[in-house]
Amino acid sequence: MGVYFDSATATPLHPVARQAFQAAADEGWADPGKLYAQARRARQLLDAARASAAEILGVRPDELHFTAGGADAVRQAVEGVRRARGRRVVVHSAVEHSAVVKAAGPDAVAVPVSATGRVDLDALASAVNSAEVAVAAVQSANHEVGTVQPVATAAELCAGAGVPLLVDAAQSIGRAPLPTGWSLLAGSARKWGGPAGVGLLAVRKGTRWERPWEAADDVPAIVAAAASLRAVHEAAAVESARQHALVDEIRRTVAATVPDVEVVGDPVERLPHIVTFSCLYVDGEVLLQALDRAGFAVSSGSACTADTLRPSHVLAAMGVLTHGNVRVSLHRDVSEEDVRRFLAALPPLVAAARAEAGVAGL
C-alpha cells in the first residue's frame, strides 16, 4: 500500500481505538437514553468517555458535546450561536477550513492573512466591532500549511467586542497544546486516530448557544474516540518532537534539491506534522499521481477536487502559488526511512512532470 502521508485529512485508526470499539460494541450497543440495564451500561460508557475527553481538553464534562464529525461540530457551533444571539454574520479568517466557510455562508466577513497564513489581528478587531456579528472563527492552526494562529490575542479582541470566538482545533487536538480564551472549540476524531463520524464541540459556560439539532450517540465510536485521544495525548510530547524533526528535514531537503520550489507557511510558528511546498511549472495532479505510483500517498495543498476544480482558498488568501502544490502530513507510523525514501524520489518525479509538460529547464 506504500506510505501514507495525509494525516491532516485522516489518521489511520489507532490500535487503542480499535480495541475500545470492539469492547464497547459488546456492552454499549443500547440506547443510552433509556432506563433498563443495558441502556444504563451504555450511559456509563458514554459518560466515562465524555469525562475523559473533557479532562484532556481542559473543560467540564457538561461543556462537551459529541457530534457526527468535525464538520457537524462546526455547523452546530455556528448555528447554535446564531439562534441564541439572534444575529447572522460570521467573521472568520480567510484561511479557515471549508466547513467553517460553508457554515458561515455568503454574508460572512473574511479577514485577510499574511503570506505565511497568519490572521491580520487589526483587521479582525475592526471586523468584529459590529452589532450584526454573531460569532468569529479563527482556527488553532491551518490544515493546509500548518501555521499556528494567535488565538489567545484574537480571543481578547473578540471578548472586547462582546463576540464569542469559535476555534476549529481539528489539527491541534492530540498533537499540540490547545489555545486559550475561546468560547467554542471544535474537533474531529479521525484527525487523531479515532473513528470517522465522531466530532467534539466544547462550549464554555456563559456562551450564548443553543444546540440546533440532536443526534443519536454512537456509544462504541465515541468510546473509541475518547480512548484514542487519551493515547495520543499521553504520547504527544515525544511524538510531536519526532515529527517536528522529520518535517524540518523535509523543509530543508526539498528547498535544497528541487529547483523552483517554495515551502509555504510559517517556518517557526507551525504544527509539527504538516509541510506544504509549491513546485513551479508543475501540474499538481500529475505530480500527485506520479507520487502515488511511486508508493507515496500525499495530498495537494491546493485542495482541488474533481467536482469543483477550484484552487485552494487558503493558498489564494496567502498569495502563494495555488497549483503544483504538495502537502505532506505525518502520523505515528511514518518512519525516518519513509521520509528519506520520499525525499530521494521527489526530485526526479518533479523533473519528469516538468519534462512531460514541456517546461524542463525553465
- Residue 252, domain CATH: 3.90.1150.10
- Lowest-confidence pick of 36-40, 203-207, 284-288, 305-309: 305-309
Report pLDDT digits (tens) over 215-259.
Answer: 889 999 999 999 999 999 999 999 999 999 999 999 999 999 999
Check whether residue 322 and residue 227 sit in a common domain: no
Q: How confident is the model at residue 175 (pLDDT cuts 50, 70, 90)?
A: very high
What CATH number did the domain enclosing 94 receive?
A: 3.40.640.10
Helix (H, G, I), strand (E, B) or coil at 273: coil
Report how far residue 292's alpha carbon sits from residue 181's, in angstroms, rounded to the nearest whole number: 41
Indicate if 191 and 168 belong to the same structural domain: yes
**Longest CA–CA separation in the chain, Å:** 73
Q: Which of 335, 230, 191 is nearest to 16 (CA)?
A: 230
Q: With beta carbons less than 8 A apart as the criterion, state whether 291 and 299 touch.
A: no
Based on the domain organization, do 224 and 94 belong to the same domain? yes
pLDDT at 271 over 60: yes
Read off the amino acid at residue 168: D
The pLDDT > 70 percentage for the chain reads 96
300 shares a domain with 198: no
**Residue pair 52/226 in contact by the 8 Å Cβ criterion:** yes
Q: How much is the CA Rg of the chain, to the nearest whole Å?
A: 21
Helices 219-257 and 15-27: angle between axes, nearest 10 degrees:
170
Answer yes or no: do 151 and 166 share one domain: yes
Q: Cell 451504555 sits at which residue?
A: 42
**Does the structure show a pLDDT above 80 at 281?**
yes
Decide: helix, strand or coil at residue 283: coil
- Is there a single domain that holds both residue 205 and residue 323? no
Whole-number pLDDT of residue 301: 65
Per-residue pLDDT at 283: 85
Percent of all residues in the chain with a pLDDT value above 90, rounded to a whole number: 90
Q: Is the pLDDT of residue 306 over 70?
A: no
User: Per-residue pLDDT for 309 more than 60?
Assistant: no
Active-site residue, selected from the candidate residues 42, 91, 227, 304? 304
Q: Is the pLDDT of residue 200 over 90?
A: yes
304 has catalytic annotation: yes
Does residue 325 lie in a domain region? yes
DSSP state of 178: P
Q: Which of 84-98, 169-183, 197-211, 299-313 is predicted least confidently? A: 299-313
Q: Number of helices and strands (H, E) in the chain?
A: 10, 12
Q: Is 63 a domain residue?
A: yes
Q: What is the pLDDT of residue 235?
A: 97
What's the predicted TM-score (pTM) here? 0.94
Using alpha carbons, list the distances in angstroms from residue 11 to 15, 186, 196, 215. Answer: 12, 17, 10, 25
In this structure, the answer to whether residues 99 and 195 fall within a common structural domain is yes
Residue 45 located in a structural domain: yes
- Confidence (pLDDT) at 202: 98
Parent domain of 210: 15-232
Rounded to an integer, what distance in angstroms lies between the CA atom of residue 86 and that of residue 212? 13
Which residues on neighbouring strands pair with residue 137, listed in sequence order?
A: 92, 166
Examine the fold and report which residue of 171, 199, 232 is the final residue of a domain before the chain moves on.
232
Q: Which of 124, 131, 206 is nearest to 157 (CA)?
A: 124
For residue 352, give the nearest of 293, 311, 304 by alpha carbon: 293
Asked if 311 and 173 sit in the same domain, the reply is no
Burial class (CB in 10 A: 0-12, 13-18, 19+), 13: middle
- Give domain status of residue 361, yes or no: no
Last residue of a domain, one of 203, 232, 261: 232
Q: What is the pLDDT of residue 356?
A: 85
Taking residues 143-160, report their average pLDDT.
98
Is 296 part of any domain?
A: yes
Q: Which of 208, 232, 256 is the last residue of a domain?
A: 232
Predicted pLDDT at 361: 61
Q: Is residue 134, in this structure, part of any structural domain at all?
A: yes
Are 173 and 190 in contact by the 8 Å Cβ rule? The answer is no
DSSP label at residue 275? E
pLDDT at residue 216 in the model? 83
Same domain, 303 and 242: yes
Q: Are 187 and 170 in contact (CB under 8 A)?
A: yes
47: in domain: yes
pLDDT score, position 358: 79
DSSP annotation of 325: E
Residues 331, 269, single domain; the answer is yes
Would you state the pLDDT for residue 284? 85
Q: Return the residue matching grid coordinates 476544480.
A: 309
Count the domains in the chain: 2
- Average pLDDT of every residue of the chain: 94
Q: Kindly state the average pLDDT of the residues 302-312.
A: 58
> What pLDDT shows up at residue 362?
57
Report d(CA 264, CA 12) in Å as an integer.
26
Per DSSP (E only), the strands in the chain are 3-4, 64-67, 89-93, 109-111, 133-137, 165-168, 184-188, 199-203, 261-264, 274-279, 296-297, 325-329
Read off the pLDDT band of 143 (50, 70, 90): very high
**Nearby residues of 270 by Cβ (< 8 Å), 6 or more positions away:** 141, 145, 146, 147, 148
pLDDT (mean) for 3-26: 97
Mark whether 205 and 291 lie in a shared domain: no
State residue 307's pLDDT score: 45
Do residue 228 and residue 334 come from a single domain?
A: no
For residues 185-208, average pLDDT: 97
Q: Give a yes or no: residue 245 inside a domain.
A: yes
What is the mean pLDDT of the segment spanning 43-67? 98
- Has residue 273 got a pLDDT over 90? yes
